[in-house]
Structure 1
Amino acid sequence: MKERKLNIDILKCIAIVFVVAVHFFLHTNYYGRSYTFKSIFLSSFIWMIFMTCVPLFIMTTGYLMKDKTYSKSYFIKLLPVIGIYCLAASIYTFFDVRVINLEYFWKLLVNIFSFSHYAWYVNMYIGLYLMIPFLNAGFKSFNNRRSQAIALGVLVLLTVIPATLSLFNNNEQYRIILSHLIPDYWKGLWPITYYLVGAHIASFKKKSSIKEIVLVIIVLDVLSVLGLSVISESSFGIEYGVLPVFLLSSLIFYSVIQLKVVIKNEWLQRVILFISKNTLPIYLLSVIGDLYWYPKMIAKWGDFASILPKFPLIVFFLLCQSLFITYIITGVLKFVKNIIIELKRSN
């Protein structure tokens, strides 16, 4: 394996684990609870790291697709993504209604075109994909790294800083003033910022000390949670575009991308490659386990504080379940594909 590809594969594996972990916080009533609860304050340190999941995926896209241009084949390559999405939607819709009838097909159409469940990411990704060659051409028009860094700085100023300022909620008037201190109309463009950061990091040649980066990540994580507890009375919702998440995501991505990784175990290589190639269905199909198991867990064990000690086992179990469903589906698809190929050969 090429070192670069393996690093990207590992990054995608990390990101999908972080996604499943973030959903634990989503489904166990973590968001919006007061920092006065010890369990909320302490768990926020690991939650902050897991919040880098989506940014890591987008930066990986920027790293891999920084040279893409518009062509017929480029648009065609979007079709498999849409196909995987529709297939995953057909499966989790079945778990919603548990029957195959007119109600199922209507619900399937609603789920697909409303990008329900966890499919907001697909909605975002399709739009980003269509803009990628345009973004690449614009970013490359800055013919030196200094100009590119300035452009990224402007993007951060318009997409990350306003979202960060909106976290101040200890005083409503103070929050209103701060949230509009910088034009906040553009903060929804944070995926573009992450994409271009990934593309920019791809051109880095100078390497930094991994130990130093890890230390910075830990310090930044601690300071971020402490800072949030000061400016906000309660944990905030899912905000991928805020400054702490942006900085942590960039550091984690940069540290993993420059690692010298050698995995000699063939079985482990296969597992990593399988996860890396199937992150989208693993992500989309994880909703099946989440919607089934979390209500039962809450009914049995109670609130977030009671469930938190079981966090590692729950995340591992739900990840394995989604992996298993994805493995079965890919196996069936491969079997059907082989039958079709054999039929064509026989004819």
Structure 2
Amino acid sequence: MNTIRYHEQRNYGIDLAKWVSMFMVVTLHNLLNGGVLLRTSLSLGNLSYWFLENICIVGVNVFALISGFLIVNKQVNMRRLIKLWKVVVFWSVVPTIFVMLLTCNWNLLDIIKSFFPFVLGRYWYFNAYVGLFLCIPFLNVGIQKLDTKYLRITLVAFILISSTVGMINNFFLESGYSVFWLVILYLVGAYVRMNRSNFKKIDSLMLIFVIITMASLSLIAEILSVRLSLDITLWISYNSPFVIVQSLAMFILFERIELSNNLLRRILIKFTPLTFSVYLIDSNITIYKKVIHSSFEFIRSQPVILGHMEVLLISTVLFVIFILCDYLRLRLFKLLRLE
């Protein structure tokens, strides 16, 4: 009965947001690392891929917002972090050895390094998440103790500074690749959870409009940056003002989604916990540099619409493969009692 009750109370919109976020991460890697996207070309086709990148760039932010939304009212357990660390090590080691096995190109040093992903910073998000995780007990107490108005003012100040001073890296956010940025997003996600009724008043069509508008503004800023020989990457940093607003709009939009289809519910319950491993496999340094790197350059020569279809199809196939791989990993862990 407890399991059924828990599933009935489950926020399936958040589950969907996790799926979409990790799909976006895969798409981002395919666009830039895969060789589809060129940083300086202003051709119509390349601009369309820039726009797709701008739509997908919010994936990491949304995933971090979800953490605050889900954990603000919970007790954290160090076992959860250790459990996640074992998965990180697994997906750091196994693909590395597998690719070497396929290519017959063995490198003992790379294999040894793959056993120490945290120490060597192989997965920036996991390293930053460890810092966030250790702060969560203090953050949760602070959130509960603070007056709602004061918390809102503090968060607005954080976001304003992060998207201005922080955007030029003088707030030491490292373009969002930092513990501090995940902490800010955690607080924002927690605030949304505590004020859900207020955010539900925002019309869904308005949220969609905001998402498209912010991605378009990013595109305009990127075009101007190229023409003026400025740093284009500022506009796709996780703490860009456009990316922040777009991330929040997308998160709020998905949070309100309700699902009644039992089959979809069962799929989400079973596979959503595996979505983080999509990032781990896709970002494995061997996969990233030797498998995905420049593998999709051929798409640039395709008609624009066909090219976009190919990017999304390849991303979907990779996403499904990675999910299934982690399902096999989960079965193996249960067999070996590593869960």
TM-score normalised to structure 1 length: 0.79
Check conservation: 2:225, 2:232, Cα contact below 8 A.
no
Q: Does structure 1 residue 197 correspond to structure 2 residue 201?
A: no
Question: Structure 1 residue aligned with 2:161, among 133, 158, 176?
Answer: 158
Question: Aligned in 2, Cα 1:93/1:304: closer, same or farther, shift over 3 Å?
Answer: farther
Question: Aligned in 2, Cα 1:150/1:31: closer, same or farther, shift over 3 Å?
Answer: farther
Aligned to 1:26: 32
Greater C-alpha radius of gyration: 1
Question: Aligned in 2, Cα 1:104/1:27: closer, same or farther, shift over 3 Å?
Answer: closer
Residues in 2 aligned to 1:102 and 1:227: alpha-carbon distance in whole angstroms: 45
Root-mean-square deviation (CA, aligned residues, Å) is: 3.1
The amino acid that maps onto 1:314 is I
Check conservation: 2:14, 2:255, Cα contact below 8 A.
yes
- 1:310-329 alignment to 2 at 5 Å? 310-329=310-329
The amino acid that maps onto 1:281 is S
Check conservation: 1:13, 1:275, Cα contact below 8 A.
no
Residues in 2 aligned to 1:315 and 1:51: alpha-carbon distance in whole angstroms: 14
The amino acid that maps onto 1:139 is I
Residues in 2 aligned to 1:254 and 1:154: alpha-carbon distance in whole angstroms: 20
Question: Aligned in 2, Cα 1:192/1:16: closer, same or farther, shift over 3 Å?
Answer: same
Q: How many residues align?
A: 315
Q: Give the match's secondary structure for 2:262.
A: coil
Q: Does structure 1 residue 262 correspond to structure 2 residue 268?
A: no
Residues in 1 aligned to 2:131 and 2:301: alpha-carbon distance in whole angstroms: 38
Question: Structure 2 residue aligned with 1:141, among 136, 145, 157?
Answer: 145
- 1:76-125 CA distance string (max 9 Å, x none): 33211111111222212313543899656523335452132xx1111011
Check conservation: 1:62, 1:196, Cα contact below 8 A.
yes
Residues in 2 aligned to 1:273 and 1:55: alpha-carbon distance in whole angstroms: 22
The Cα shift of 1:292 comes to 4.8
The Cα shift of 1:290 comes to 4.7
- 1:160-309 alignment to 2 at 5 Å? 160-164=163-167, 166=168, 184-185=171-172, 188=178, 189-204=180-195, 205-206=197-198, 207=200, 208-233=202-227, 235-236=232-233, 239-265=237-263, 268-287=264-283, 290-295=288-293, 297-298=295-296
Structure 1: runs of 5+ lacking an equivalent: 167-178, 341-347
The Cα shift of 1:232 comes to 4.5
Between stretches 100-109 and 81-90, larger displacement belongs to: 100-109
Between stretches 95-104 and 85-94, larger displacement belongs to: 95-104
Q: Give the match's secondary structure for 1:161.
A: coil
The Cα shift of 1:63 comes to 0.5
The Cα shift of 1:191 comes to 1.6
Identity of aligned residues (%): 21
Question: Aligned in 2, Cα 1:326/1:31: closer, same or farther, shift over 3 Å?
Answer: same
Question: Aligned in 2, Cα 1:4/1:273: closer, same or farther, shift over 3 Å?
Answer: closer
TM-score normalised to structure 2 length: 0.81
Between stretches 271-280 and 301-310, larger displacement belongs to: 301-310
The Cα shift of 1:196 comes to 0.8
Q: Does structure 1 residue 59 correspond to structure 2 residue 53?
A: no
Residues in 1 aligned to 2:290 and 2:47: alpha-carbon distance in whole angstroms: 27
The Cα shift of 1:30 comes to 5.8
The Cα shift of 1:259 comes to 2.3
Between stretches 123-132 and 291-300, larger displacement belongs to: 291-300
Structure 2: runs of 5+ lacking an equivalent: 1-6
